[in-house]
């Protein structure tokens, strides 16, 4: 039974030259799990909002959205509010009230449901989502993952038939994100709930979907099963930017396809999961790889000169308060000039705290921190931050306080007492370097997540640092923005910048780091080049490595796996 039907839906924002959504025709069957993907600015969010009457943007709309055969405009407001649920991106901003139980009841209160019934429905939902243990807590005390689960539960309590989610996991760490996605899968499977989900992180979600809609410049490029989409996207355009965001198995398949080799392997369906990818590799390439032929990758010996350590921590101990447990427990670390060093590790292990200590925001109570060979204590005033060290915090919004990006950049120059006359040129030069010239006169909060990240990076670079500290730089970014960020960091490295970043994103680390380190229990357990680092981890490694490790243990990125496949001769017996 069809639950949603879009007929020739076109939408244009006021004063916009092009349509944000153009001529979309689409049928969603009841109980389907639909994943919508596309580059940022492709009209995904606009399309989702057109499906929810209360959130429909103002502008010029033609075409009709039918919900169970009735045009959306003709539905009465109660049906509309209750049966089409909508979950937004930011876990914090969606929460309205101060208590968990009140948040759960909020939607039902709005519908005017009597208290006794609210009590039952809220209780039922809290049990289903496992919220009962924090039912009476303040919403402010919850973790990000819990907050987003609460947002989902407080929509589900109204009994929706269709659930629409706009990048719900982009602000969550990978573990909380997987839990959230698993909950969605459970809702879809157990309750037959129809789900429309916009996501960047497709590794988990893509194989779960019944249908995938790929959007490009407001149009529906593809609407098909994941396997078909995985195959056809590459056929449409060999290096389609959306390919970057697809699961590693799909990327590998498409890399082979664009190389034009191994036609026999390509006649198989496109693998979607790590397991399918591993079977695919085993079937077509297994047994043809020489056991001993796998040498260590050349990048190992290059990297930076291992002579001059610019960040040096020697048995550093730190805790926030006297009675609290230690966060850093004898942390020792050396980052050499010109290298990109990546600290990986689970949530709440103290990675961010380590960055805070290195950036001088927190002081270690034992041990030594040396920046550029000088004890951090010896830096007077603001000298640590002048042409020396810069820190980009996790949330790029915290960096901006002016109405224009340009003024924010000038703020740094003002503090360093650069004459006004020279400021304009310096700002322009920086903007050009990181590719944000067209954004200089915009309000920082009007930018997309990826643009904010870039502009924030530009602002911290205004003080001409030689060491750059990054805290979760890929949080909330889509695959293309991540790729662009990776390129930018590469350029900075070329210029001699030392980069230390803390991240959850193993794929990003594998592609961009010279050395990776695992942070656990307040110290660094192992540090090595990515190829060795990930080859020695069994679980904490990239999806590409998990697929290919039986054949090529040192292949950690999709490109590396694809390259090794290409080097093999064609299969025989065609």
Partner 1 sequence: MKAFGNYHPAVLMVYFLSVLLVAMFVTNPVLQLSALSGGALFAMALERPGNWARDGAFYVPLFFMVAVTNPLFSHNGVTPLFFLNGNPVTLEAFVYGIAIGVMVIGVILWCKCYSRIMTSDKFLYLFGRIIPKLSLVLSMALRFIPMFKRQMHRVSRARRAMGLYAADSFTDKLKSRMSVFMAMIAWSLENAMETAASMKARGYGIKGRTNFSLFRFTARDGVLLSVCILLLGVTLVGTAMGEMAFYYYPRISHLNVTPLALFLYGAFGILSFLPFFVEIKGALIWKYYVWKM
Task: Based on the shown chain and the rule CB under 8 A, indicate whether residue 137 belongs to the binding site for partner 1.
Answer: no
- Which of these segments, 79-87, 177-185, 194-202, 477-485, binds partner 1 (CB under 8 A)? 79-87
By CB under 8 A, the count of residues binding partner 1 is: 73
Q: Please report whether residue 418 would count as binding partner 1 according to CB under 8 A.
A: no
Q: Which two tokens stand for residue 539?
A: 């679980």
CB 497 to partner 1: min, Å:
16
Binding status of residue 169 toward partner 1 by CB under 8 A: no
The SS3 assignment for 440 reads coil
- Antiparallel, parallel or unpaired: β 309-318 and 328-336: antiparallel
Q: Which stretch binds partner 1 (CB under 8 A): 61-69, 399-407, 474-482, 484-492?
A: 399-407
Half-sphere exposure for 476 (CA within 13 Å, toward CB): 17
The answer to whether 214 and 235 are in contact (CB under 8 A) is: no
Can you state the angle between helices 115-128 and 144-156, rounded to 10 degrees? 130
Region binding partner 1 by CB under 8 A among candidate stretches 187-195, 268-276, 408-416, 485-493: 408-416
463 touches partner 1 (CB under 8 A): yes
Of 551, 303, 528, 475, whose CA–CA distance to 540 is shortest? 528
Which among 67-75, 82-90, 238-246, 492-500 is the span making contact with partner 1, rule CB under 8 A?
A: 82-90
Does 132 interact with partner 1 (rule: CB under 8 A)? no
Give dist(CA 485, CA 453) in Å, integer.
9
Which of the residues 503 through 562 are near partner 1 (CB under 8 A)?
none
Among 35, 48, 65, 113, binds partner 1 (CB under 8 A): 113
DSSP state, residue 546: H
Q: Choose, by CB under 8 A, the member of 88, 125, 156, 561 that binds partner 1.
A: 88
Instruction: Return d(Cα 103, Cα 375) in angstroms, integer.
Output: 49
Give least dist CB 142 to partner 1, A: 11
Q: Per rule CB under 8 A, is residue 127 in the interface with partner 1?
A: no
23-42 binders of partner 1 (CB under 8 A):
none
Among 283, 402, 442, 483, binds partner 1 (CB under 8 A): 402
Distance CA(185)–CA(208), nearest Å, equals: 7
**Dist CA 488 CA 466 (whole Å):** 15
Q: Which of 118, 125, 110, 108 is nearest to 187 (CA)?
A: 125
The CA distance from 151 to 104, in Å, is 8
Phi and psi angles of residue 198, each rounded to the nearest 5 degrees, phi first? -100, 130
Q: Which of 61, 68, 119, 483 binds partner 1 (CB under 8 A)?
A: 119
Give the span between the Cα atoms of 402 and 250, in whole angstroms.
43
Q: Which residues, 285 to 344, sit near partner 1 by CB under 8 A?
A: none
The Cα-based distances of 191 to 122, 127, 161, 184 in angstroms read 17, 15, 9, 10
- Distance of closest approach, residue 81 Cβ to partner 1, in angstroms: 3
How, if at all, do strands 467-471 and 389-392 pair? Answer: parallel
Minimum CB–partner distance for residue 324 and partner 1 (Å): 17
Return the residue of 11, 86, 129, 534 that touches partner 1, per CB under 8 A: 86
Rounded Cα–Cα distance for residues 59 and 377 (Å):
57
Q: Which stretch binds partner 1 (CB under 8 A): 124-132, 167-175, 206-214, 353-361?
A: 353-361
Instruction: Say how many CA atoms lie within 13 Å of 463 toward its Cβ.
Output: 22
Site for partner 1 in 46-75 (CB under 8 A): 52, 54-55
Residue 542 tokens read as 């990239």
Candidates 210-218, 368-376, 411-419, 530-538; binding stretch for partner 1 (CB under 8 A): 411-419
Least spacing, CB of residue 43 vs partner 1, in Å: 18
Q: How far apart are CA 260 and CA 254, in angstroms?
A: 10
Which among 12-20, 59-67, 150-158, 517-525 is the span making contact with partner 1, rule CB under 8 A?
150-158
**Of 115 and 526, which CB lies nearer to partner 1 in the complex structure?**
115
User: Closest distance between partner 1 and the C-beta of residue 58, in Å?
Assistant: 13
Name residues contacting partner 1, limited to 360-389 (CB under 8 A): 360-361, 381-382, 384-386
In angstroms and rounded to an integer, the radius of gyration of the C-alpha atoms of the chain is 25
Interaction between residue 147 and partner 1 (CB under 8 A)? no
């Amino acid at each position: 039974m069809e639950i949603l039907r879009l007929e020739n839906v076109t939408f244009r924002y006021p004063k916009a030259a092009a349509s944000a959504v153009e001529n979309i025709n689409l049928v969603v069957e009841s109980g389907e799990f639909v994943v919508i993907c596309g580059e940022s600015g492709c009209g995904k969010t606009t399309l989702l909002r057109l499906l929810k009457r209360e959130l429909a943007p103002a502008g010029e709309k033609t075409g009709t959205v039918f919900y169970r055969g009735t045009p959306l405009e003709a539905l009465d407001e109660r049906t509309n509010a209750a049966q089409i649920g909508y979950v937004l991106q930011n876990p914090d901003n969606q929460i309205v009230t101060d208590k968990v139980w009140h948040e759960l009841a909020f939607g039902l209160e709005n519908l005017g449901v009597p208290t006794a019934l609210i009590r039952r429905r809220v209780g039922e939902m809290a049990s289903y989502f496992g919220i009962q243990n924090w039912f009476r807590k303040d919403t402010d005390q919850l973790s990000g993952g819990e907050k987003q689960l609460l947002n989902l539960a407080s929509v589900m309590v109204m009994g929706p038939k269709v659930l629409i989610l706009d990048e719900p996991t982009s602000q969550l760490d990978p573990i909380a994100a997987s839990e959230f996605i698993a909950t969605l899968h459970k809702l879809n499977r157990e309750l037959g709930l129809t789900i429309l989900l916009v996501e960047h992180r497709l590794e988990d979600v893509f194989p779960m979907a019944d249908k995938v809609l790929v959007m490009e410049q407001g149009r529906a490029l593809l609407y098909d099963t994941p396997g078909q989409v995985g195959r056809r996207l590459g056929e449409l355009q060999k290096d389609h930017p959306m390919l970057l965001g697809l699961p590693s198995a799909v990327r590998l398949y498409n890399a082979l396809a664009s190389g034009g080799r191994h036609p026999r392997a390509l006649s198989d369906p496109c693998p979607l999961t790590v397991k399918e990818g591993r079977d695919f590799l085993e079937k077509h390439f297994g047994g043809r790889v020489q056991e001993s032929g796998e040498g260590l990758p050349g990048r190992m010996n290059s990297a930076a000169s291992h002579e001059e350590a610019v960040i040096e921590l020697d048995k550093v101990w730190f805790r926030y308060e006297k009675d609290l447990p230690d966060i850093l427990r004898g942390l020792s670390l050396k980052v050499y000039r010109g290298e990109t060093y990546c600290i990986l590790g689970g949530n709440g292990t103290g990675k961010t705290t380590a960055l805070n200590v290195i950036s001088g925001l927190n002081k270690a109570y034992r041990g030594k921190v040396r920046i550029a060979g000088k004890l951090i204590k010896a830096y007077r005033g603001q000298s640590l931050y002048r042409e020396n060290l810069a820190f980009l915090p996790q949330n790029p919004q915290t960096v901006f306080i002016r109405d224009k990006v340009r003024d924010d950049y000038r703020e740094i120059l003002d503090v360093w007492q650069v004459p006004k006359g020279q400021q304009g040129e310096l700002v322009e030069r920086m903007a050009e370097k990181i590719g944000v010239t067209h954004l200089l006169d915009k309000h920082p909060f009007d930018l997309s997540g990826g643009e904010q990240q870039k502009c924030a990076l530009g602002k911290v670079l205004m003080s001409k640092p030689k060491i750059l500290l990054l805290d979760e730089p890929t949080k909330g970014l889509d695959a293309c923005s991540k790729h662009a960020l990776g390129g930018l960091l590469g350029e900075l490295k070329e210029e001699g910048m030392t980069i230390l970043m803390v991240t959850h994103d193993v794929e990003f680390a594998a592609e961009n780091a010279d050395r990776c380190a695992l942070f656990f229990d307040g110290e660094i357990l192992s540090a090595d080049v990515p190829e060795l680092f990930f080859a020695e981890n069994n679980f904490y490694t990239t999806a590409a490595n998990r697929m290919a490790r039986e054949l090529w243990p040192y292949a950690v990125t999709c490109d590396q796996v694809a390259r090794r496949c290409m080097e093999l001769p064609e299969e025989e017996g065609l």
